[in-house]
Structure 1
Amino acid sequence: MRSVVYSETGPSAVLRLVERPEPAAGPGEVVVRVTRSGVNPTDWKHRAGTGLSDLHGEVAPGHDGAGVVEAVGPGVDHVGVGDRVWLLLARHGRDYGTAAERTVQPANRVVPLPDGASFDLGAALGVPFVTAHRLLTSGAVPRLAPGALAGHTVLVAGGAGAVGNAAIQLARWAGATVVTTVSSARKGALAHAAGAHHVVNYREGDPAAGILAVAPAGVDLIAEVAPAANTALDLAVARVHGTIAVYAIDGGGDLVLPVRPALSKNLRFEFTVLYTLDETLVQAAVDDITAALSDNAVRVGEPAGLPLHHYDLAETADAHDAVERGAVGKVLVDLD
């Protein structure tokens, strides 16, 4: 089979296209013929040798993907040969992720993909949507479903990003009023397409005033991509007993928190990374995302505010570079 691999960290030039033996399914495992591989920032950060790197030999990148089951090992009964599936955390704890024509994965990382959902959508779910689910359930609501966030106002920082888009879609499906911040009119249009009720361009005027005009008492939950840069804004617009759920360090890795304003509002700060997320929380996310898929509440593409950028497997380095440069939308590698 063809696979893209790297054996040393560095720029995207370390990626190379190779032929490797096809994998077999052991007990509790599934072999998937990958049709689409989703590229996320974590993929290039691992490859580049940042603090996320866990290189111990040859690695095929890619946590997210979608495809068709080719084989199942003993003890696997939730999917069968020929089933359409999506993959999550495929590279976590394993050397070969989804940048390969076939990948063998633990059964709990292989999820049925409804017939009405495209492989493009399936490959866009893992990192963005599981992260978004955890952010939205960091407050008083432990699970998502239609109506679960009714009466809540959610602020999504950076609503045009992949996680921001996922948070908007899931929050809207769960009944929240969704406000998002963006940096341009183009990104504002994408956030509206994703389902945001109110969009605030933080480069035009006072973003706090714009947010509080929509939610005078403050927002219940903030999905935060840039905590260091947005501390003052978050403290200004969070409501009493609100939650600030952080999933990235855009704008700087050191958070200096004025304690008194946070104390005065009884705020809760929570932080999310998928690699150490308890398995029960991962499975809760999978279950709720599956329900949203069944309700046709999750979409990709320009009409959903998430433009798609396709690359061939041989162009995986270009795909990594596109994500590293901040491509707006979802970068996918095609293997079919």
Structure 2
Amino acid sequence: MKAAYYETNGPAGEVFIVGELVDPKPAHGEVLVEVATSAVNPSDAKSRAGVRGPMAFDRVIPHSDGAGRIVAVGDSVNEERIGERVWLWNAGWKRAHGSNGTLIALHEEQAVYLPEEASFEDGACLGIPALTAHRCLFADGAIDGQDILVTGGAGTVGSYAIQMAKLRGARVFTTVSSEEKAAHARQMGADVVLNYRSEDVAENILEATSGKGVERIVEVEFGGNLATSRKVLAQNGTIAAYGSMADPEPKLPFYPMMFDGQTLRMVLVYILPEAARTAGVVDITGWLTNNDLQHPVARTFSLDQTAEAHAFVEAGTKIGTTVIKVADI
């Protein structure tokens, strides 16, 4: 098999190696997937750079998300799955062998049926962003008729959260930092798009909700946005946070939030409860079959360009998913 991998942490242009490795074989309960596409998430770049600690393995083929076709199965796996188109989740989570190579063996549950209506490029976009968005939105009940704030509406999680919230009958407010990102958020279906650099987010949301605020916040930057969140979160509302890079240890206003009956939920997609992941997979499969979701791609690279793809993600200017075309299948 051919893969792009690294054997030490460091800058992408210095540590990536592209070469041939021994083909993996599916163990008991596993499937062997011929990979068509792999996606680079910010977490992949951070792990490669060493931001999240030293390497756990001598060699790492990165990336948790991808898509392809099952070409072999291990013991206990139904042989009828051979030939099935699939998308992958957690392919690189606590594993040395992620999706950025032409073959990957992983547990059969981590290879999810990909409807014909969705391309392999679409499939690579799903794992981390779509499942994170789903958990943030639906972990605390139905959202039909609610007002939802999605911060960072031009991000990959934000883009899916906007779409999913609209599909389930919510009114969606979102924040962005530029007109280009605003246009993207509107394309995803956001009802109200606010540029936090030039507009008073809290004032606009409170005016639009007659002072009530929003029932749920899908939060990309918990600490940095906490002051605004406190102003706009309704009584008994929930903040579902999946990031807090600007302020990783914010001071929590416990009693003010308690007396408003508010909930703070932390979301880490890699360790979703089984029931939550299953619910996400079911909903995503239905939306894919009905062509209900858009899957914006910022740029597509070849496997040989993996270092450039990581650098592109680290630049922080992209809108959409960064996809690597691993192979033609």
TM-score, normalised to structure 1's length?
Answer: 0.93
Paired residue secondary structure (1:269): strand
CA shift, 1:83, in A, is 1.4
Counterpart position of 1:303: none
Asked whether 1:267 is paired with 2:265, we answer: no
Once the two structures are superposed, the pairs formed by residues 293-332 of structure 1 within 5 Å of their partners are 293-300=288-295, 306-326=296-316, 327-332=318-323
| CA distance in 2: counterparts of 1:271 and 1:54, whole angstroms | 25
Paired residue secondary structure (2:81): coil
TM-score, normalised to structure 2's length?
Answer: 0.94
Asked whether 1:194 is paired with 2:188, we answer: yes
**Counterpart residue identity of residue 229, structure 1:** G
Match of 1:224 among 213, 219, 223: 219
Match of 2:252 among 257, 260, 264: 257
Task: State percent identity of aligned pairs.
Answer: 39
Asked whether 1:175 is paired with 2:169, we answer: yes
CA shift, 1:54, in A, is 4.7
Counterpart position of 2:76: 75
| CA distance in 2: counterparts of 1:271 and 1:192, whole angstroms | 27
- Pick closer, same or farther for the CA change 1:18–1:255 going to 2, 3 Å: same
| CA distance in 2: counterparts of 1:89 and 1:42, whole angstroms | 12
Counterpart position of 1:214: 208
Paired residue secondary structure (2:182): helix
**Counterpart residue identity of residue 332, structure 1:** V
Write out the 4+ residue segments of structure 1 that deviate beyond 6 Å after TM superposition. none
Where structure 2 has 5 or more consecutive residues not aligned to the other structure, the ranges are none
| CA distance in 1: counterparts of 2:109 and 2:53, whole angstroms | 23
Paired residue secondary structure (1:233): helix
**Counterpart residue identity of residue 134, structure 1:** R
Counterpart position of 2:59: 58
**Counterpart residue identity of residue 2, structure 1:** K
1:15-65 CA-to-partner distances (Å, cap 9, x unmatched) read 110201111112211111111101101101111112355522111001000
**Counterpart residue identity of residue 59, structure 2:** E
Paired residue secondary structure (1:234): helix
CA shift, 1:78, in A, is 8.7
| CA distance in 2: counterparts of 1:187 and 1:199, whole angstroms | 9
RMSD across aligned positions (CA): 1.5
The aligned length equals: 324
| CA distance in 1: counterparts of 2:45 and 2:284, whole angstroms | 25
| CA distance in 1: counterparts of 2:184 and 2:47, whole angstroms | 28
Paired residue secondary structure (2:236): strand
8 A Cα contact 1:172 1:178, kept in partner: yes
CA shift, 1:279, in A, is 2.6
